[in-house]
Amino acid sequence: MSIEINAASVKPWYARPRIVSTPEGFAQRLSQTRTKLQAAARYAPCVLASSLSVEDMVLFHLVAKGDLSIESFALDTGKLPAATLALWAEVEANYGRKLARVTPDAAELATLAAAQSDSAIYETKAARALCCDVRKTAPLRRQLAGKAAWVTGLRKAQSAGRASVPHQLWDAAFGLEKFNPLADWTDDDLWYFVDRENIPVSTLYNKGYASIGCDPCTRPIRFDEHPRAGRWWWEAAADTATGTSTECGIHVAASTN
């Protein structure tokens, strides 16, 4: 049996912005971001938690070029896309600056494997949340222990649930100061700066991906979908008009304390 597809009904995939002129107000937002990073660096020790997203690559670039006393690390969950691992190696080679690798606890991974299969994340939200906790939240908590501040790439424009992201707050969940220097940046701001500064980013952004996490939990999106619609897409969206409110748990706790 053949299946006919109406080409006119197939919507194109997301294509990341190509911005040729400076976005209005960008210079002020960039200056504010640099000021916030300098303020974060005065907390010792301060770390940048990177997922190698476009936001985190912009921050890594600014930290490196500003020679700021902010160490950077990324969580290697064991489920990262090949493109993310390739970018990791490229970043360290290009900048000559370490992006420390943080991994899940081996015993906790063994317990997780005994408790549920990899495919269980698609069956219940509890199973997916447990996987996120073991592979991301618990390693992050251990890495942040004893730190005075951390820097993240959260932006107001990323989702409805992040619309009130502040530039700085006390993170009661992890017990340290939290900085979000890109809080006010638009998508145009990000991609304009990436192209202007020739900042390396994941090749997946050229393949329909707008938000990138673990390989099993990330998919490309169509041009009219919310940027985070490709994350944990099988879980029910809280607001279908603006995309899923689902999070892995890293940032939710801090916003509700």
Tokens of 244: 């899923």
248 as an active site residue: the answer is yes
Q: Are 135 and 79 in contact (CB under 8 A)?
A: yes
Give the HSE-up count for residue 44: Cα atoms under 13 Å, Cβ half-sphere: 3
- List the beta bridge partners of residue 50: 74
Burial of 169 (0-12, 13-18, 19+ CB in 10 A): middle
How far is residue 72's CA from residue 109's CA, in Å, rounded to a whole number? 24
> Which member of 46, 131, 132, 248 is catalytic?
248
E strands of 9-69, at which residues?
A: 46-50
CA dihedral 200, 206, 212, 216 (to 10 degrees): -130
Tokens of 6: 């109406």
Please report where in the chains the tokens 């004893």 appear, as a residue: 146
Residue numbers annotated as active site: 248
